[in-house]
Amino acid sequence: MTQQPPEQMKTEDVLRVELETFRQKHRDLDEAIAALEITGGDILTIRRLKKQKLALKDRIAALEDRITPDIIA
**What's the confidence (pLDDT) of residue 9?**
61
Q: pLDDT > 90: what percent of the chain?
A: 70
The mean per-residue pLDDT over the stretch 4-32 comes to 87
Which of the four pLDDT bands, split at 50, 70 and 90, describes residue 67? Answer: confident
Surface-to-core class of residue 61, CB atoms within 10 Å of its CB (0-12 exposed, 13-18 middle, 19+ buried): exposed
**What's the confidence (pLDDT) of residue 11?**
86
C-alpha 26/C-alpha 49 separation (Å) is: 10
Q: pLDDT > 70: what percent of the chain?
A: 85
C-alpha 38/C-alpha 32 separation (Å) is: 10
Indicate the SS3 state at residue 26: helix
